[in-house]
Structure 1
Amino acid sequence: MNQFFSFRRFSLLISKHWADNKKRYLLSVIGFALLLIVWFIFTILVDPHSPMQQEVQILTFFFALFGTGAFYASQYFRDLGSRAKGINFLLVPASAVEKILCSILFTIVIFFSVFTAVFYLVDVLMVTISNQFLTSHNPIRQEGVINVFRAAILPFDGISTLNVLLIFFTVQSIFLLGSVYFAKYSFIKTVICSFVVFFLLFCLIYVLYEYVMPRGGYVNGFTSYRVSRFNAGEDHLVQIPGWIDDMIYFVLMYAITPFLWVVSYYRLKEKQV
């Protein structure tokens, strides 16, 4: 049998993970649905003349998605924090690739699917209640159910689109990596490390554009820079190759998440050794 990846072994690993955690997952889903209902009832009571506004639905969806998703991903490899459970986890007859793929399946694919289904179940129920019962006593503007996939696509410089869901996949991958690296308090430690890394990147980009790149305004989108020549008192145009912008966009949008998966794989493989 292939020691790197076996579909049968991978399917058995998925079944084992579900069997070990199905009660916790089911209780979490029920608890999340109840919290959503309580939150939407609170928003309706606060503003009964404009209940279930689409802005509230959008903010609720994405705030809960990122918050609960990051916490869940940070707890996936929590067994590694206990000596007994960690040994049991490492002795499971599955390769590191299969364990990482299983974690990606549960923390990203299944989590997002279940989260979206539960949110829509509660959201449709609360929108229907607010439109059918509240409007019968008070003439208010009826709200519809949001399309989260349309709300997740935001305009970016009028040229390309920044998909919030891709950012969610990246955040999930960051906290999944943190659950492998940190044995205890992985969520808090991952938040702190992520803040430090992004702060350093921000400082690096600021120094790059402020002191390394030539000063001046930008024209023609990404590829042309109008630079002021302070000595000569005139402007000249600096052209940047278009493939550089394409490469930066590709790395930021599509390459970071797979890179984090690869790092998580090698970290988990070290623990297994």
Structure 2
Amino acid sequence: MNNIFNLRRFSQLFIKHTQEYYKTYLLSVGVIVALLAAILGFISYVSDGNLGVKSQYAIFFFFFIGAGSIFTSMIFSELGNSRKSITMLMLPASHFEKYLVAWIYSFLIYQLVFTLSFYAVDLIVLMLQNSGTDEKMALLDLQSAGTPYGMALIAFAVLHGITFLGAVFFEKLHFIKSACLVAVFGLFIILINQPLANVILGVKLEKVVPFAHAAIKEADNYYALEPQSSIKPIMIGMTYTIVMILWIGAYFKLKEKQV
């Protein structure tokens, strides 16, 4: 077991990684904060102070998964440089410990830092916005049914799994190549989704959103088909199963790396 995971060795590796990259991470946080301030401030300005909860959630959602995917794609950037890869692979730590440090930073710590950064900026923008108007805009609530954190987390987890595997698999241009895979996979799903749903249900569907809902049109009326509440946990479980497979694949791909 000590050859796979040792708490003392792992903690030393985690501290070493933090000491080496904390300046880069702090700079990245500064860039995210600046972009969030610019976007939230601009939308608040052009909408005459009507930065509603839905707009806040849309910005949170796309920045959350977009910045997270870029950050994750660069977490194993040393592997693309022969000198840095030798140094990394020769560290007296197991592949699992190196993998775990990268996973914790790119998945857990990123979520915490991004959420805190977003709320810090959002709160300041709303305070400035609400100070000049009688109609006060509410702060985004990620526990609300209309703006759930769970939806953003599922999307981020899937993209994290793909970009995490891509960061290990590809030696160069990790993010671009991973993004191309996501685009090809998404296009494939869109192309086969409606014909497959028509065959399964035995009717011609007017509109089909992958993994979400479908609609049937009769005359001028639309009838939406929503999955039962008992089916949704199964769909979420299947999604996280795919994410786990991607994470496991990334680990075994990292194990193949040798000096």
TM-score where L is the length of structure 2:
0.81
TM-score where L is the length of structure 1:
0.77
Q: In the alignment, what sits opposite 1:40?
A: 40
Query: Identity of paired residues, percent?
Result: 32
SS of equivalent residue, structure 1 residue 271: coil
Which residues of 2 match residues 4-23 of structure 1 at below 5 A? 4-23=4-23
TM-fit CA distance, 1:196? 1.8
Q: In the alignment, what sits opposite 2:69?
A: 70
Distance 1:57 1:93 in 2: 45
Q: In the alignment, what sits opposite 1:100?
A: 99
Unaligned runs of 5+ in 1: 155-161, 219-241
Distance 2:43 2:232 in 1: 43
Distance 1:267 1:11 in 2: 23
Distance 2:83 2:96 in 1: 22
Counterpart pick for 2:137 among 143, 147, 150: 143
Q: Is the 8 A contact 2:198 2:204 kept in 1?
A: no
The change in CA–CA distance for 1:254 and 1:3 in structure 2 (over 3 A counts) is: same
SS of equivalent residue, structure 1 residue 183: coil
What amino acid maps onto 2:18 in structure 1? W
Q: Confirm whether residue 166 of structure 1 aligns to residue 154 of structure 2.
A: yes
Distance 2:147 2:10 in 1: 32
Q: Is the 8 A contact 1:52 1:126 kept in 2?
A: no
What amino acid maps onto 1:267 in structure 2? K
Which residues of 2 match residues 1-273 of structure 1 at below 5 A? 2-48=2-48, 50-132=49-131, 134-135=132-133, 139=134, 141-150=135-144, 151-153=146-148, 163-211=151-199, 213=200, 215-216=202-203, 249=235, 251-272=237-258
Unaligned runs of 5+ in 2: 206-227
SS of equivalent residue, structure 1 residue 29: helix
Q: Is the 8 A contact 1:74 1:186 kept in 2?
A: yes
Q: Is the 8 A contact 2:65 2:152 kept in 1?
A: no
Query: CA offsets per residue over residues 167-216 of structure 1, 9 Å max, x none?
Result: 211211211111111111111100111222233344455454444x3624
The change in CA–CA distance for 1:163 and 1:40 in structure 2 (over 3 A counts) is: closer
Task: Work out the number of aligned pairs and report it.
Answer: 234
Structure number, greater radius of gyration = 1
What amino acid maps onto 2:154 in structure 1? L
